[in-house]
Amino acid sequence: MEGLAAIGSRIAEINAQLSRLSAPAAATSSASGSSARFANSAGSASSARSSATTTAATPPAAAGGTGATSFDDALATALTAASTPAGAARTGTTQTVATTRATGSVPTATSGKLTSSGVPVELAKYGNGRVPASALESIGGGHRLWAPAAEAFQRLTAAAHRAGVSIGVTDSYRSYAAQVDVAHRKGLHSQGGLAAKPGTSEHGWGKSLDLDLNASALRWMRSHASAFGFSENVSREPWHWTYAAR
């Protein structure tokens, strides 16, 4: 992330300039002189350097009146420097997901296939609840899923959003340690509780989500989720939805 380091140091320079200029300004210097200060501090156009000499002779506070435009220029320069592929992933969840897919940082194949026991083929080698984060795909909010489930869920939430339905995520991939914790807190299914035996949870393969659904969102899910490969597959748990490629 050299782009990030570069923008960080540019912004530090700009902030230093601004703090020098924050004293009550006489605002007598020309716009070009002021511009040169900022352009120079941002390391841009060489044509600005000749006038920088002039500016240096001006008391620093005198340049304050025209700072806004110059600051925008400097910031634009810094942002341009940062808008390289390496810096492009920071502007939003959607873009991050797209970048993740485009750069192939999900190292496993995403066949979407399950073994006869319902385990994602490409994750089977890790074990339930032992899948490294790098083999899963982010769906935002710190949640991760098996990549085909993640991509299907992104499509599902986009469709829900278009329908005015909001779908929250409470839980997603669950590590073995987290499965042990849930079993302690909620009890095992086999004993009337709500938790799978640790090491057997569908969450441990990144196939299942626990969703935060109001009544209309639950209705929407029951009508539409199957079109995206998700089903409500545990009785007594209308929040638990599991992906299986169709």
Q: Give contact residues for Zn ion (rule: CB under 5 A).
A: 210, 240
Query: Which one, 13 or 181, has the nearer CB to Zn ion?
Result: 181
Distance in angstroms (rounded) separating the CA atoms of residues 56 and 16: 15
Give the nearest distance from C-beta 203 to Zn ion in angstroms: 6
**In a 3-state reduction of DSSP, which class is residue 188?**
strand
Distance in angstroms (rounded) separating the CA atoms of residues 215 and 3: 45
Distance in angstroms (rounded) separating the CA atoms of residues 104 and 109: 10
80 token code pair: 């341009």
Query: Which one, 59 or 141, has the nearer CB to Zn ion?
Result: 141
Q: 159 to each of 42, 44, 213, how far by Cα in Å?
A: 43, 44, 15
Asked if 7 contacts 81 with a C-beta cutoff of 8 angstroms, the reply is yes
What single DSSP character describes residue 142?
A: T
Query: Which one, 100 or 175, has the nearer CB to Zn ion?
Result: 175
Give the nearest distance from C-beta 227 to Zn ion in angstroms: 21
User: Which residues are bridge partners to 195 per DSSP?
Assistant: 188
Distance in angstroms (rounded) separating the CA atoms of residues 72 and 76: 6
Query: Which one, 71 or 205, has the nearer CB to Zn ion?
Result: 205
Give the nearest distance from C-beta 202 to Zn ion in angstroms: 7
Query: Which one, 14 or 183, has the nearer CB to Zn ion?
Result: 183
Query: Which one, 207 or 240, has the nearer CB to Zn ion?
Result: 240
The tally of CA atoms less than 13 A away on the side-chain side of residue 124 is 12
Give the nearest distance from C-beta 238 to Zn ion in angstroms: 11
Give the nearest distance from C-beta 210 to Zn ion in angstroms: 4
Q: Which residue is nearest to Zn ion (CB)?
A: 240
Asked if 211 contacts 170 with a C-beta cutoff of 8 angstroms, the reply is yes
Distance in angstroms (rounded) separating the CA atoms of residues 122 and 33: 61
Give the nearest distance from C-beta 244 to Zn ion in angstroms: 15
